[in-house]
A = this chain, B = another copy of it.
């Protein structure tokens, strides 16, 4: 590689005619330093364009002021929202983030977690952590707090209750007169379709069905490859109990499902009603505007970050417990109608 030259703290000390430790003190704003020596040092810092080495700093201080965030899929707009929520909260407390794009690939995610370990992140925020249990052990062992998203506890009415939205959506559909519905879920190599989250979603369906005395079918359609979506849908519509309403089981599923509906030339909501998962500018600008199950990912990011800060001893407990209940909700727009 081309030789890079980096100014060191010693350079600054020499230029300012002081001892390196004094430079360190003004850098860290610690201890009293005489105004004029401080000024001299700051001038030298600027003049030499000095940028302290993070490596040296964290090696010496045993702190990295860094948190790792593992996102299963950066191309998912909901995850970006989540990330920004976390970033906002953490940066306010002087932490910076290492962001990792999981690319929906467990191997990639494993490699990145190892990198986080080597980078000595002080905390970790992960989503879909149920798929990573084994990989998170080293963090726990090393005493690094891990804050997992989407690990809600429906039975205990946990803080991240994600049933409200589905429940409202299905009540809405059954009230409209739908009988047979299909939920398209993302079946990933790294996750069982019947995750806890999914299971609770299905419970919501069951509850709404009972309430409306409906006996229709609930098709659960696992999709690995977006291209499978159209054929699966076609088969479903040709079979018994053909669904009149199609639900995206999670945020990844929305676009592929819409693509399939498009490919089959179905009108929305005349031929089929659609409930999307995850609100975004695209969902609102779609034609017709999509009825969605909306979840505040930004807030979830902030919440997890706050909890992490508490566990790191960098924030009072109150801040985190003030947050907590982030239910999802159903937004009716134009894609759902009487079958």
Contacts and interface: CB of A to CB of B under 8 A. Distances in A.
Interface of A: 1-6, 49, 51-56, 58-59, 63-64, 74-75, 77, 80-81, 83-84, 87, 96, 98-101, 103, 114-115, 117-120, 122, 138, 141-145, 226, 255-256, 258-259, 262, 268, 280-282, 284-287, 289, 311-314
A105 to B, nearest CB: 11
A143 B75 contact: no
Contact of A59 (B59, B115, B255, B268): B59
Contacts of A256: 281, 285
Q: Oligomeric state, in number of copies?
A: 2
Nearest to A260: B285
A54 B145 contact: no
22 contacts: A1-B63, A2-B313, A4-B122, A5-B142, A49-B141, A51-B114, A51-B138, A54-B55, A54-B120, A55-B55, A55-B56, A55-B64, A80-B101, A83-B101, A87-B101, A99-B100, A99-B101, A256-B285, A258-B285, A259-B284, A262-B285, A286-B286
Residue in A2, A54, A56, A99 whose Cβ sees the most chain B Cβ within 10 Å: A54
Given A4-B122, A49-B141, A55-B55, 20 more contacts: A1-B63, A5-B143, A51-B117, A53-B59, A55-B56, A55-B58, A75-B77, A75-B81, A84-B101, A84-B103, A96-B115, A98-B98, A99-B100, A99-B101, A255-B280, A255-B281, A256-B285, A258-B282, A258-B285, A268-B287
Contacts of A285: 255-256, 258-259, 262
Nearest to A49: B138
Pairs of residues from A and B, 4 with the lowest C-beta to C-beta distance, nearest first: A259-B285, A255-B281, A258-B285, A4-B143
A287 B287 contact: yes
